[in-house]
Amino acid sequence: MLYPLSYGGSWCATSVHDTIGPVMSGWGNDQAEPRRVLVVDDSPAIRTLLTVNLELEGYDVRAAADGEEGLEVVAQWHPHVVTLDVVMPRLDGFETLERLRADPATAELPVVMVTARAQAADRERGDALGVDAYLSKPFEPAELVAVVGRLARRYP
C-alpha cells in the first residue's frame, strides 16, 4: 500500500535515503528549481498517492490520466522524469513510451513503468522499448522516491 510518509519522509535516515542523496531529493545538487516529474496513471487514487509522495520529497509534480494527456504535458512542461502505468485508456503506457522514444526531443527522457503488469513478457516489452526502470504495484514509496531520484539527477 502506498501512503505519504510510510517510509518516514525526508526526516527519516534509511538505507534508501542514504543511497539517493540529499534530504530534498527533488532538488538537484546544483539546480535552482526542483526536478519535474510527470505521473501518468488512469487511477485517480494512484495519481494522488504518487504525486503526494513525490511532492513530500521536493519534486514539482504534474499528473495525467492517460498516455495522450501525458504526451501533451511532456511537450508543454518538459519533465525530468515520467512515471507510466501500462494499462490506460486511449493510449497505454507501452504506446506512450514508444512515442516518447521515437521523438528526438524526448528520446532520452527517463521513464519509470509503475504498474501491476509485472509478468516477464511485460518487462521484456518495456525493456525492448527503452524503459529506464520498472516498479511493480504494490511497492514501497521509498522505492519510488529512490528510483525517481536516481533518474532525475541524470537528466539535464
- Domains of the chain in sequence order: 33-154 (3.40.50.2300)
- pLDDT score at 139: 87
Q: CA distances (Å), 114 to each of 13, 26, 80, 84, 99, in order?
A: 25, 19, 16, 6, 18
Q: Smallest Cα–Cα separation from 66: which of 92, 47, 27?
A: 92
73 vs 84: CA distance, rounded Å: 13
Tens digit of pLDDT for each residue in 64-80?
A: 999 999 999 999 999 99
> Rounded to two decimals, what is the model's pTM?
0.81
Which residues in the chain land under pLDDT 50?
A: 1-24, 29
Q: Which three cell numbers stand for residue 56?
A: 513530500
Q: Check residue 47 and give its pLDDT.
A: 95
What pLDDT digit, counting tens, does each position of 124-136 carry?
999 999 999 999 9
The pLDDT, as a whole number, for residue 4 is: 47
